[in-house]
Structure 1
Amino acid sequence: MMRSLWSAASGMISQQTAVDTIAHNLSNVNTTGYKTEKTEFKSLLYQTLQTRTTTANGENKPISAQVGLGTRVASITSNFTQGSMLSSESFTSMAIAGDGFFSVRGADGNTYYTRNGDFKLSVGNNGDLTLVTADGYPVLDSEGNPITMPGDVSSSKIQVSTEGAFGYLDGNGNFVNVANIGLYQFSNPAGLEKLSNSLLAVTDASGEALNEANTANLIRSEVRQKYVEGSNVQVADEMVNLIVAQRAYEMNSKAIQAADDMLGQANQLKR
């Protein structure tokens, strides 16, 4: 009975994490470039009560008697399926169609990655314009350098090709290529570490960033100007998952209540 109490308690703790994850998904349903998360579970160790050879008559028994010790959260996995394309009025807004990621330079000087293409223009000390994220982090080109252009360029003149060529139209209507937007892929994007401000950091699980510009055998992503990628959270699916998690939590609560009743009855036997 004590084992059942701890097993049910581990289930309640795990389902609480599942509910927290679902709530996080629902709260980010309108976050640009957000990728939904799912809680994965795994069984704890099994305890052997009887081996395959223990019977009353000493005969061989085909199966053993084992009981599980509960469950725990194994991981919270991000689902990097494509989000919907949402139209934007900004000429610096971009969405990725494919498996690529934008690269940005963080405040600490390290390179991070994001699917949030709601970019802005920042005026530098020398008057040049720099393509930055909504939080002011410079967007990098395919060579790892910030994307800059002259300060007298109007945002309405900015042009971005589907291949990622970033530039503007001069006074004669000719396209001036400034840089190629850096697009990167990962062998295991679910292994990326999620940070604040929609940034992702490279880990050993994700593998090194693969530059689409110079890495062979990669399916190139496309850049869509004046679009942003919406989150891939499906509200109906999340509500179903929430109901399932709540019912599982209640089931574990019932198991604790049943074990408590059994312990209460055991205490009454002496009387």
Structure 2
Amino acid sequence: MMRALWTAASGMISQQTNVDTIANNIANVNTNGYKTQRAEFKSLLYQTLQTETTSRNGETKPTSAQVGLGTRTASINAMFTQGAMVASESATAFGISGSGFFQVRGYDGELYYTRDGDFTWSVGTNGMVLTTADGYPVLNSNGNPITIPNGISTESVSFGQDGSISYTNAAGNQVTSYFGLYQFNNPTGLEKMQDNLYSATAASGAAMNEATTNGLTSSKIYVGYLEGSNVQVADEMVDLIVAQRAYELNSKAIQTADDMMSTANELKR
């Protein structure tokens, strides 16, 4: 009965993690570029109550008797399915269609990746710099900040569906660069950071530049649109109900084990 208490308790802890994950998904239903997450579980150790033995007739039993010791959270994985394109009035709103990520540079100098294309122009040392809403510089395909020289109006900059960024300089020549778009062999392995950012890990593999890596399907950039969250509220509500019921069942198991222990303790009276 003590085993039942701890087993059911592990189930309640796991379902609490599940509810926390679902709550985070619902909270980010309107977050640009957010990818819904799913909690995965696995069983804990099994205790052998009886090994394969010989019966009274001299025959070996085909199976042993084992009882499980509960569950725990195995992982929380992000689902990198395409989010819906949402129209934006901003001239520097960019929605990615495909597997690519924008590359930005954090204040710590490290490289990060995001699907949130809600960018803005910020004043830099040598001109206007395209940054995220938090001020992180957006990088081009060469790994440099996307900068417009002083004297060039940001309104004259044109953006293409292929990720091109074009403007005419003071000499009358057209200058073109491209967004740095990167893909990963295993995007689920990316480390989730704050501010809609991801960090590359050994599990995700190295970032692959779409401009220089052969065999990649290039992503498309939709100007004036933002990729919305891929959270499906109806699915999340169903999962929330299932998690709540599982939590209640585990609590009932604890109450039942407690009642059985109370009954056993009263037998001596």
**Cα distance in 1 for residues equivalent to 2:167 and 2:254:** 66
Matches within 5 A, 1:184-199: 184-199=182-197
Map of 2:166 onto structure 1: 167
Q: What is the CA deviation profile of residues 223-269 of structure 1, one whole-angstrom value per residue up to 9, with x for unaligned ones?
A: 11111110000111000000000000000000000000100100011
Confirm or deny that 1:240 pairs with 2:238: yes
- Pairwise CA RMSD: 1.7
**Cα distance in 2 for residues equivalent to 1:176 and 1:72:** 58
**Cα distance in 1 for residues equivalent to 2:59 and 2:4:** 30
Q: Would the aligned equivalents of 2:140 and 2:179 in 1 still touch at CA under 8 Å?
A: yes
TM-score of the aligned structures, taking structure 2 as reference length: 0.96
User: What is the number of residues matched between the two proteins?
Assistant: 269
Map of 1:137 onto structure 2: 136
Q: What secondary structure, in the 3-state scheme, does the structure 1 residue paired with 2:167 have? A: strand
Q: Which amino acid aligns with 1:255?
A: A
Residue segments in structure 2 that go unaligned for 5+ positions in a row: none
Q: Would the aligned equivalents of 1:149 and 1:178 in 2 still touch at CA under 8 Å?
A: no
Residue segments in structure 1 that go unaligned for 5+ positions in a row: none
Q: What is the CA deviation profile of residues 187-244 of structure 1, one whole-angstrom value per residue up to 9, with x for unaligned ones?
A: 0000000001011001110000011011111111111111111000011100000000
Compute the displacement of 1:163 (Å): 1.1
Q: Would the aligned equivalents of 2:148 and 2:154 in 1 still touch at CA under 8 Å?
A: no
Confirm or deny that 1:66 pairs with 2:66: yes
Q: Which amino acid aligns with 1:254?
A: K
Q: Which amino acid aligns with 1:107?
A: Y
Q: Which amino acid aligns with 1:111?
A: L
**Cα distance in 2 for residues equivalent to 1:43 and 1:253:** 18
Q: Which amino acid aligns with 1:132?
A: T
**Cα distance in 1 for residues equivalent to 2:157 and 2:38:** 38
Confirm or deny that 1:147 pairs with 2:149: no
Compute the displacement of 1:59 (Å): 3.0
**Cα distance in 2 for residues equivalent to 1:56 and 1:100:** 66
Map of 1:221 onto structure 2: 219
Compute the displacement of 1:121 (Å): 0.3
**Cα distance in 2 for residues equivalent to 1:55 and 1:152:** 92
Larger deviation, residues 147-156 vs 113-122: 147-156
Q: What is the CA deviation profile of residues 16-65 of structure 1, one whole-angstrom value per residue up to 9, with x for unaligned ones?
A: 00000000000000111110001000000111111122545553001111
Map of 2:13 onto structure 1: 13
Compute the displacement of 1:134 (Å): 0.4
Q: Would the aligned equivalents of 1:92 and 1:155 in 2 still touch at CA under 8 Å?
A: no
Q: 1:80 to 1:175 in 2, by over 3 A?
A: farther
Q: Would the aligned equivalents of 1:118 and 1:134 in 2 still touch at CA under 8 Å?
A: yes
Q: Would the aligned equivalents of 1:91 and 1:158 in 2 still touch at CA under 8 Å?
A: no
Q: 1:166 to 1:54 in 2, by over 3 A?
A: farther
Q: Which amino acid aligns with 1:268?
A: E
Q: Would the aligned equivalents of 1:184 and 1:211 in 2 still touch at CA under 8 Å?
A: yes
Compute the displacement of 1:175 (Å): 8.8
